[in-house]
Structure 1
């Protein structure tokens, strides 16, 4: 049997962490966002598929805050994020799922893209210990390719 008070307290803590994380991203403050990650965070940003989405040089699995920051630097070196908004946030116990709408432009091609993606967070002791994203990358790949619309 689950202790309602404990589960509720965990959910409240998870919601606070997730809300802070998404607010930092929406404001474009990557440094503040990194503060929400555990030192040993497991970060799963899609799975690279050779010949398909591997042009997205920032994707893959990272372990630890330092690797995640390097991945962010690669992403922000290639893409200007125009806006990121949380569309929906669902929180239960130590899990949070946020649906995010992102509008960005690929610097090299000048092509915009807009995606909705899910960020699945696992939170412990106020820190994100696991982050995994889900999306259809076709709009990003199209913008990276350049050429006619």
Structure 2
């Protein structure tokens, strides 16, 4: 099971970091649960792409909102840990908020659950303070 999970995770992260959205979406189960942080009113709700979504179409809509606001300059998988049906990838990202021109750099974790060759659950973890700073137009 671990080797199949690793294969799916490596494919997912390779597609994601190369910007191949069609290939990346192909790794998602039809009923994937996509948990991209929990919105907190008055704090991180200025990131309109966050929330919980179901299915590849909803995930794509969320990614379109993100890419409509943010220009991803660099994204790299820096660590991958796999155990059974679970995979955790640490991603380093540098992006620019289009409206403000402000850059942010973050590391975030994507926690994947893989079953029957598809990602059935995806959850993201990060400190959003650098993203929020850039959205607000405050220099680093």
What TM-score do the two structures reach when normalised by structure 2?
0.98
- Report runs of 4+ in structure 1 exceeding 6 Å deviation: none
Unaligned runs of 5+ in 2: none
> Residue 143 of structure 1 aligns with which residue?
134
Matched, 1:21 2:4: no
The 3-state SS of whatever aligns with 2:132 is helix
Matched, 1:56 2:47: yes
Alpha-carbon separation, structure 1, partners of 2:90 and 2:77: 6
Aligned length: 140
CA contact (8 A) 2:133 2:139 kept: no
Q: How does 1:41-80 map to 2 (within 5 A)?
A: 41-80=32-71
Unaligned runs of 5+ in 1: 1-9
- How far the C-alpha of 1:79 sits from its partner, in A, is 0.3
- Residue by residue, what CA displacement relative to the aligned partner does 1:24-57 show, whole Å, maximum 9, x if unpaired? 0110111111011001000000000000000000
- How far the C-alpha of 1:148 sits from its partner, in A, is 4.3
Q: Based on CA coordinates, which of the two structures has the bigger radius of gyration?
A: 1
- How far the C-alpha of 1:144 sits from its partner, in A, is 0.3
Alpha-carbon separation, structure 2, partners of 1:24 and 1:148: 31
Matched, 1:104 2:95: yes
